[in-house]
Amino acid sequence: MEISQQSFGTLWQDNEKKIRQLWPNAQWGDESNELRRIFKRKLSSLDQSILSRAIESVKTNFASHQPELKWFLSAYETIKQSERVVPTGATPCGDRYWVDYPKASRFTGVVAWVSSPAPDYETAKGWAVANNGRVRGGSHAEPISDPMDRIRSATRDELKRAIDSLRTDNYISSYPLSSDPTKWDNRTIGSVAARLDRRTTAA
């Protein structure tokens, strides 16, 4: 039994709201609605950060006014498998980028450091800042600064260009973002901060 509905800042309530907003014509009813209760029972105990991306994947890949639970579960497992961690501590870098980050056991709640491979540096940095971790790759290792500081220091035009670029590259969905960055999920915050840094370096 998984013991927490929270994963790195994303709550089930946030994801439930996202589902209702992305499928406004679906029949969800109130808290007593049986379908809504089934969705909550099956989805609320999952890693909510992964589930958030699974929701976006379902919206992108299925054209339906009423999404099916199995679509979310399938998308969730696909994303989870693609990010399978190595539970034996830091993994030798080699030529790949790795993200080391703390993760609580879903059974005991004990926090341990794990490593997960990333396809490129930008993705790795986005994951790292979102999960309070660090990036490794070859001889590369760096402390992670607060991504919100980077976002707050950017101009409106810089933020718009970074977000548009991320959407073009399919790092984040076209789902409208709040005008308040503190309300974004951690993956989006990390990705935007990393893209801002990359643009600054390129300039």
Is 126 inside a domain boundary? Answer: yes
| Better-predicted residue by pLDDT, 163 or 188 | 163
Is 1 inside a domain boundary? Answer: no
Residue range 129-172, pLDDT digits in tens: 777 777 877 445 554 456 777 788 888 888 899 888 888 877 77
Is 90 inside a domain boundary? Answer: no
Same-domain pairing of 11 and 76 = yes
Is 32 inside a domain boundary? Answer: yes
Would you say the C-alpha torsion 170, 176, 179, 182 has a positive or negative sign? negative
Please tell me the pTM assigned to this model.
Answer: 0.40
Residue range 15-43, pLDDT digits in tens: 899 998 999 888 877 777 888 888 888 89
Same-domain pairing of 123 and 151 = no
Same-domain pairing of 69 and 119 = no
Give pLDDT, residue 166: 83
Domain that holds residue 119: 97-142
Q: How far apart are CA 175 and CA 136, in angstroms?
A: 31
Same-domain pairing of 50 and 114 = no
Is 91 inside a domain boundary? Answer: no
Q: What's the domain count of the chain?
A: 3
Is 21 inside a domain boundary? Answer: yes
Tell me the HSE value of 132 on the side-chain side, using a 13 A CA sphere. Answer: 9
Same-domain pairing of 154 and 138 = no
Same-domain pairing of 161 and 197 = yes
The answer to whether 85 touches 115, Cβ cutoff 8 Å, is: yes
> Does the pLDDT of residue 102 top 80, yes or no?
no
Same-domain pairing of 159 and 125 = no
Three-class SS string for the chain? CCCCCEECCEEHHHHHHHHHHHCCCCCCCCCCCHHHHHHHHHHCCCCHHHHHHHHHHHHHHCCCCCCCHHHHHHHHHHHHHHCCCECCCCCCCCCCEEEEEEEECCCCCCEEEEEEEECCHHHHHHHHHHCCCEEEECCEEECCCCHHHHHHHCCHHHHHHHHHHHHHCCCCCCCCCCCCHHHCCHHHHHHHHHHHHHHHHHC
